[in-house]
Amino acid sequence: MANHALLLSSFFFFLLHFGAEAATITVRNNCPTTIWPATLTSGPGQPQLSTTGFELARGASRSFTVPAPWTGRVWARTHCSNNGGRFNCLTGDCGRGLSCNGAGGVPPATLAEFTIAPGGGQDFYDVSLVDGFNVPASITIQGGTGPCRSSNCRADVNRVCPGELQVKSGNEVIACKSACVAFNQPRYCCTGEFNDPNKCTPTNYSMIFERQCPDAYSYAYDDKNSTFTCNNRPNYVITFCG
């Protein structure tokens, strides 16, 4: 009985001090059409969120909570349809229907990435174009202490995407691949002998992303101005196309 009481006491202590810790992420759709946001939890031993994919109409928003700690990403799928009972998207598709349930999006897709710390510690967040670009995205902060700067890629990179990186639907450019996705070469992917920040440096292709969105990751080792931090349990707003 004593051991049982001790276990219960430890359980409630955990809930009180850790289980209640969470951050709220709000996703807003400023795009001219419907999007289908998705989430992926990538932290070791962390379960997927209760929300791994949903439809979001133009001008709408939706909020969900993430535990602390949590490491994961949020992205927007576009040009989605449900033909013959099979849901798929032309950009960012995860291959599992509306809810991605632990599957990531097929590049290219603009990513909002997070590492949420427990205990009011230091969170890290960024907008990444390492896997390419499909829609503009920004991360803004509610609450928290420290720098807590907005991270964003508000430019429409599709408008300047070179032909060899373009993903098209008809005559419309709907996404822009990274050079890594397009060519799968170590110097673009920072793999093999280039898996070193001193060897994997900006290329003509990554500089296209960098010039359009200097606050976003343009390639794997683009750390200098692309990672942002905030302390003391902030909440986050991700705005696609804004």
Q: DSSP assignment, residue 73?
A: E
Is there a contact between 222 and 113 (Cβ–Cβ < 8 Å)? no
- Report how far residue 100's alpha carbon sits from residue 97's, in angstroms, rounded to the nearest whole number: 6
The per-type count for the chain, helices as H runs and strands as E runs, is 4, 13
CB proximity list for 224: less than 8 A, separation 6 or greater: none
Number of Cβ within a 10 Å radius of residue 6:
10
Is there a contact between 221 and 197 (Cβ–Cβ < 8 Å)? yes
Residue recorded with tokens 């509306």: 98
Q: Judge whether residue 21 has pLDDT over 90.
A: no
Q: Which has more pLDDT, 85 or 33?
A: 33
**Can you give the pLDDT at residue 4?**
41
Q: Distance between alpha carbon 105 and the CA centroid of its chain, in Å? A: 10
Is there a contact between 153 and 133 (Cβ–Cβ < 8 Å)? yes
- Report how far residue 199's alpha carbon sits from residue 232's, in angstroms, rounded to the nearest whole number: 36
**Can you give the pLDDT at residue 177?**
98
Q: What domains sit in the chain, N to C, each tagged with a CATH number?
A: 20-240 (2.60.110.10)
Q: Which of 55, 88, 95 is nearest to 169 (CA)?
A: 88
Is there a contact between 181 and 190 (Cβ–Cβ < 8 Å)? no
Is there a contact between 128 and 181 (Cβ–Cβ < 8 Å)? no
Give pLDDT tens digits for 66-116.
999 999 999 999 999 998 889 999 999 999 999 999 999 999 999 999 999
